[in-house]
């Protein structure tokens, strides 16, 4: 990469590259959220005029989609397939959660849009291959892929919303949830253990259980005894 004087002066060195712009956009988005990404802010960070960025990206939307695709690129590059499809599905889900949580706000901005980039395609292809290895038909594999994707994006969106809260607001929310469980236990004696159980159940355990539910459903579909309404 060419040498830059980030945000302090003119750029020195080789021509500005698309990769440099995306890298700077990732840094800004991680620190300030997608709203902080602008061509002016990028120009200042890279030491170039904002107009120079238009040689690589038509507008902010195209830039943000390229930025989001880098998340999928990292997942695809770190994924190591094995001969155990269930373990591979867990690995893809864990990678998606680990990488996605670092960029949760960006993924929440992405929502249900497709980046159209190589990273998005690589992760989708790896996931569908895992599902085909499980013995699903093409129609069944696509159905379960969409279910799993919706689950992961939903979880990451919740993470993004929580990350956007300040520490004091989080504490208030946790206290309100604890009070909710305590009130329910008073109303319904059969829920007397719930307040204590809710405190000890961690997010990692819940996440692994959700992926296990998907794996159970995939096993059932592949064996001809589907538990979900979907392609036969």
Predicted structure pTM score: 0.82
End-to-end, the C-alpha distance of the chain in Å comes to 52
Query: How far does Cα 202 stand from its chain's mean position?
Result: 19
The whole-chain average pLDDT of the chain stands at 88
Which residues 6+ apart lie within 8 Å of 120 measured at CB? 69, 72, 114
Residues of 126-160 as b/e, b for ≥16 C-beta within 10 angstroms? bbbebbebbebeeebbbbbbebbeebbbebbbebb
pLDDT in tens, 29-60: 888 888 899 999 999 999 999 999 999 999 99
Query: How far does Cα 126 stand from its chain's mean position?
Result: 16
Joined together, the tokens standing for residue 132 give 């085909």
pLDDT in tens, 154-205: 887 887 777 778 899 989 998 999 999 999 999 999 999 999 888 777 888 8
């Amino acid at each position: 990469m060419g040498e830059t004087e980030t945000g302090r002066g003119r750029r020195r060195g080789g021509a500005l590259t698309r990769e440099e712009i995306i890298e700077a956009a990732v840094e800004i988005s991680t620190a300030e959220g997608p709203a902080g990404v602008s061509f002016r802010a990028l120009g200042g960070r890279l030491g170039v005029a904002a107009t120079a960025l238009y040689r690589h990206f038509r507008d902010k939307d195209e830039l943000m989609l390229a930025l989001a695709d880098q998340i999928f690129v990292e997942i695809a590059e770190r994924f190591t397939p094995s001969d155990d499809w269930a373990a591979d599905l867990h690995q893809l889900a864990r990678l998606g959660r680990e990488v996605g949580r670092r960029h949760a706000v960006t993924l929440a901005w992405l929502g249900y849009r497709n980046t159209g980039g190589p990273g998005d395609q690589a992760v989708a292809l790896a996931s569908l291959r895992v599902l085909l290895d499980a013995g699903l038909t093409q129609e069944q594999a696509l159905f379960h892929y969409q279910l799993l994707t919706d689950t992961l994006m939903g979880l990451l969106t919740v993470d993004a919303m929580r990350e956007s809260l300040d520490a004091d607001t989080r504490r208030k929310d946790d206290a309100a949830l604890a009070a909710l469980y305590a009130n329910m236990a008073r109303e319904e004696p059969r829920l007397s253990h719930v307040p204590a159980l809710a405190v000890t159940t961690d997010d990692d355990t819940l996440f692994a259980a959700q992926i296990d539910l998907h794996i159970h459903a995939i096993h059932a579909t592949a064996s001809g005894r589907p538990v979900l309404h979907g392609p036969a």
